[in-house]
Amino acid sequence: MRRISWILLICLMALATSIWGCDTNDSQGPDTGIAAPTDAGADTDSPTDTDGITDADANADTDGEMDSGMDAEEDAHSSGDATFDAGDSCVDVVCGENATCSEGICVCEDEFDGDPTEGCVPIEAPDPQFADLEIGARYHSLEGSPSVFMATFINDYHLDDNRDRAIDQMQEMVDSGINLIHLTIWPAGGPPHSWGSQFPLSEQELDNVEDFVRDVRELRSATTGIAPQLHISLLDGGDSQFKTVQENDVFPIAGGGHRDGAEFLDTWRQLIDDLLGRVGPILHDDGSPVVQRMYLGGELMLYEDGSSPYDGPAGWTLQWFLTNIFPHFWDACEAADITPSTYFFAWPVVVSQIFDGSWLDIVASTLTWWQENLPAHVPDRLDISIYTGDHNIPDYTDDQRQRILAAASGLDALVVDIFGPQGVDYAIVEAHYYDVEEDHPAVREEAFGTYRDMMDPTHPDHHPRFRGVHFWPYPYSIDGGPNENGAAPPFDVEALIP
């Protein structure tokens, strides 16, 4: 009897195990009517539906069906390599080759350019033989200034939308093919010289120059991806004037008062140190300075005895200034890894002097004086201002090519005569822009095309020492005078591009 009881108990236990151990798929079938037991730690008070299935199980089942549906929907919105959300604005956008969609708009991928709806092409690297040539624009004024010839925006770069306008204009220039921005600063001392900066530069003006240099650092050409070069010229004027004779060692100050010679020189030293202290530390990612070349003074002319056409027979202010200040400027630039320089001029000039070479006599005497008096501080190349009309007035005749090539031939001979057989390179850092397309449509193309051919090693008119041209687009006006023959961005430089 005891044996039978044990056998019966074992059978009942086996039956129970069989019932509760059924396949889970079957346990959730619609016809079982049996709910699976809860885990030992589960809430035994979970409510059940009338069919014996808990609300948690029912919700889990429903969620599973919804997840399955969403997966299918996501699959339906997948296209190519990209997967879009249901509300993505790129769902129906088809872009060209080497382009992707971003917020509903096709954009070229990195290192590609062109029409992203049709297809983008690789950005071509510049020809190495032209990589270090300069296609530059003298840029210091915004269109609409009282005098766009000399009104430097550095004074008010921080006001209104001036900074944004300048960035947009420079980006437009760089995209057009200009690879060098040349900023000019006149520390004239303020009113009544509305076109100039303070002497020395104010803290706000130094802030503005620093912001400008940082803005240039961020520019990249849309076609080459390369950042432009940046040069800065410090030109005298107003209170900082050092070209013309000052009687009795007195340098007048706008608004009253004066500086003696020692104070005048100290003010220039402060200006140089302040400016280089701001721009010198601004570097590209490779550690090179953003400002590559800085000029102290421009359009300088000296006779061999140290007098100057600017002085007349009465004095020698320019040579006095250069002897005292240029070595300081040189050392300060070199400490910042910026190339120190200046540029020269010939005045007056008539066209016949360009063809016979006599226009360079004053440049030769200036270089001779420089070698004798500043032999340790001779610039690494001959930079010069050239305007090819009589008395440097814009002249729109149709022989620009002959004039420019004659000027270049004269410079080729001059650098060998002064510096020996090895010579030095030269650049034209002031030249006409020729904004005359409507009246003289071929003049700019002829002039710019000549400069281009001079830079091209494959062209018969190639001049190996010629490093480039910086055109001066602004008109000849001071303090709100008439703005004739002037231009503002955008500039048409297609004929300059090698």
Q: Domain map of the chain by residue range?
A: 91-122, 129-496
> When comparing pLDDT for 244 and 293, which is higher?
293
Radius of gyration of the chain measured on its C-alpha atoms: 38
Rounded CA-CA distance 449/74 in Å is 58
Task: State the chain's mean pLDDT as an integer.
Answer: 78
- Find the angle CA(26)-CA(32)-CA(37) to the nearest 5 degrees: 75
> When comparing pLDDT for 273 and 256, which is higher?
273
Amino acid letter for position 25: N
3-state secondary structure of 369: helix
Sign of the torsion angle spanned by Cα atoms 127, 128, 130, 131 = positive
Which residues, including other chains, have CB under 8 Å from residue 199's CB and lie 6 or more apart? 187, 188, 189, 190, 238, 239, 240, 267, 271
The two three-digit tokens of residue 416, written as one number: 């060998």
Confidence (pLDDT) at 232: 98
440-470: pLDDT as tens digits:
667 888 889 999 999 999 999 999 999 999 9
Confidence (pLDDT) at 238: 86
Which residues, including other chains, have CB under 8 Å from residue 148's CB and lie 6 or more apart? 141, 142, 474, 475, 477, 483, 486, 488
Rounded CA-CA distance 438/424 in Å is 38
Confidence (pLDDT) at 450: 94
300-311: pLDDT as tens digits:
999 888 888 876
Mean pLDDT of 400-425: 94
The two three-digit tokens of residue 449, written as one number: 């095309």
The band of 312, judged by pLDDT with boundaries at 50, 70 and 90, is low
172-191: pLDDT as tens digits:
999 999 999 999 999 988 77
The band of 246, judged by pLDDT with boundaries at 50, 70 and 90, is low
Confidence (pLDDT) at 391: 60
Query: How far is residue 478 from each of residues 356, 397, 481, measured CA to CA in Å?
Result: 33, 26, 5
Residue 263 CA from chain centroid, whole number: 36
pLDDT score of 256 more than 90: no
Rounded CA-CA distance 407/353 in Å is 9
Rounded CA-CA distance 98/299 in Å is 49
Q: Phi, psi at residue 323, to the nearest 5°?
A: -60, -35
Confidence (pLDDT) at 244: 75
Q: Token match 């004086």: residue? A: 369
Instruction: Looking at the structure, give the CATH architecture of the domain made up of residues 129-496.
Output: Alpha-Beta Barrel (3.20)
Confidence (pLDDT) at 36: 39
> When comparing pLDDT for 152 and 124, which is higher?
152
Rounded CA-CA distance 421/351 in Å is 28
Q: Using CA atoms of 71, 74, 75, 79 in order, give the dihedral in degrees to the nearest 10.
A: -170
> When comparing pLDDT for 288 and 122, which is higher?
288
> When comparing pLDDT for 9 and 390, which is higher?
390
pLDDT score of 164 more than 80: yes
